[in-house]
């Protein structure tokens, strides 16, 4: 049967629309069921705590549960791998510790996924300081006193970390390199906090949200924050760069999705996150955790991730840091 050209084109368009209709409708009605947000660190870790704040805000605004699922292990690469392989339908998201994710790109060249290729940037949540804290028995009240003490005891101060190549390790190594001191890295697969509180390890560069209450309770002593400026949560604690000009190490948090997730879903999530970050209650909750909200578009978030990848690759190579 021969169809007139106009009729043929009409049928072709109708067929294309009908084929994509369920896909478009699914994106427009998103989310139609609970969404899981995968976190690469244990419950109680900074990323878990911040992820739960984000999940609650998304749940309240989108009318579906956003459920935090902790998948700790391998410096966050296990969780990232799970999300990279998930269906790109918006129902599996990654709670990104951007700093750790980009460091892993340099530290683990043979990962089963490519972070830049396989994880789409959705929304940046904000910046958080890490804090250099010591056990109260360490005979140093200030950062300069600690450097003097460390130089007098090379290799004898135990520095806890979440593993070789983790931000806790890299931030500490950068400090050692710039201060001219040597500390022994003690990597932990689980929480280092019990050993830090008992004094078995003496120092850690820990997320502010993880150590803040211990500082306030006098169980740990804060010597410096890692960000360029002092933090509102710890106004009397200096920045490392006040002693070591040029030092700056921030943790960044955000949300990612499997590459190929529909733009409509990514935009919905981005708008919702940004609206939540503008909410005084959400903002205050994050601020109490030491997180400064820094919303962006997905494109801006992607550009930022690329810049962070380049920055920390240079540090890791200069300090000869290897994953453990």
Q: How confident is the model at residue 82 (pLDDT cuts 50, 70, 90)?
A: very high
- Cα separation, 158 vs 155, in Å, equals 8
The DSSP annotation for 79-100 comes to HHHHHHTS-SSSSEEEEEEHHH
**How confident is the prediction for the chain on average, in pLDDT?**
90
- Cα separation, 104 vs 166, in Å, equals 8
18 or 196: which leads in pLDDT: 196
Q: Out of 61-75, 136-150, 275-289, give the one with best mean pLDDT.
A: 136-150
Report yes or no: 289 and 209 within 8 Å, Cβ to Cβ. Answer: yes
Tell me: the pLDDT tens digits for 93-119? Answer: 999 989 999 999 999 888 999 999 999
Residues with Cβ < 8 Å from 274, sequence gap 6 or more? 123, 295
Tokens of 192: 């280092």
Tell me: the pLDDT tens digits for 162-203? Answer: 888 889 999 999 999 999 999 999 998 788 999 999 999 999
- Cα separation, 302 vs 294, in Å, equals 14
Tokens of 114: 């490519």
Tell me: the pLDDT tens digits for 21-34? Answer: 444 445 569 999 99
Residues with Cβ < 8 Å from 39, sequence gap 6 or more? 45, 47, 48, 51, 68, 69, 70, 71, 72, 79, 95
Tell me: the pLDDT tens digits for 38-73? Answer: 999 888 888 899 999 999 999 999 999 999 999 988
Hey, where are the domains in the chain?
34-128+250-318, 129-242
Domain 34-128+250-318 is in which class? alpha beta
State the average pLDDT over residues 232-258: 95
Report yes or no: 208 and 216 within 8 Å, Cβ to Cβ. Answer: no
Q: What is the pTM for the complete model shown?
A: 0.80
- Cα separation, 48 vs 178, in Å, equals 31
Q: Which CATH architecture has domain 129-242?
A: 3-Layer(aba) Sandwich (3.40)
Stretch (H or E) spanning 70: strand 66-70
Phi, psi of 148, rounded to the nearest 5 degrees: -60, -45
- Cα separation, 206 vs 120, in Å, equals 27
Q: Report helix, strand or coil for 48.
A: helix
């Amino acid at each position: 049967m021969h169809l007139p050209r106009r009729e043929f084109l009409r049928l072709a368009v109708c067929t294309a629309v009908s084929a994509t209709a369920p896909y478009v409708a699914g994106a427009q009605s998103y989310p139609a069921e609970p969404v899981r947000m995968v976190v690469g660190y244990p419950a109680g870790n900074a990323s878990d705590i911040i992820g739960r704040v984000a999940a609650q805000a998304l749940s309240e605004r989108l009318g579906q549960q956003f459920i935090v699922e902790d998948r700790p292990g391998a410096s966050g690469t296990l969780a990232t791998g799970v999300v990279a392989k998930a269906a790109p339908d918006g129902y599996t998201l990654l709670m990104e510790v951007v700093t750790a994710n980009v460091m892993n790109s340099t530290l683990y060249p043979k990962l089963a996924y490519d972070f830049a290729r396989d994880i789409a940037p959705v929304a940046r949540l904000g910046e958080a300081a890490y804090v250099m804290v010591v056990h109260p028995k360490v005979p140093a009240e200030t950062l300069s006193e600690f450097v003097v003490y460390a130089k007098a005891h090379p290799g004898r101060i135990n520095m806890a970390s979440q593993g070789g190549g983790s931000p806790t390790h890299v931030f500490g190594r950068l400090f050692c390199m710039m201060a001219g001191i040597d500390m022994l890295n003690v990597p932990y697969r689980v929480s280092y906090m019990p050993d830090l509180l008992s004094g078995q390890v003496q120092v850690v560069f820990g997320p502010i949200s993880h150590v803040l209450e211990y500082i306030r309770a006098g169980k740990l002593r804060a010597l410096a924050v890692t960000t360029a400026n002092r933090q509102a949560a710890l106004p009397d604690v200096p920045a490392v760069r006040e002693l070591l000009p040029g030092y700056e190490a921030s943790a960044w948090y955000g949300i990612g999705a499997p590459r190929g997730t529909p733009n409509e879903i990514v935009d919905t999530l981005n708008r919702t996150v940004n609206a939540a970050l503008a909410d005084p209650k959400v903002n205050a909750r994050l601020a109490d955790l030491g997180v400064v909200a820094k919303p962006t578009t997905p494109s801006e978030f992607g550009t930022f991730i690329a810049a962070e990848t380049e920055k920390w690759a240079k540090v890791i190579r200069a300090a000869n840091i290897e994953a453990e």
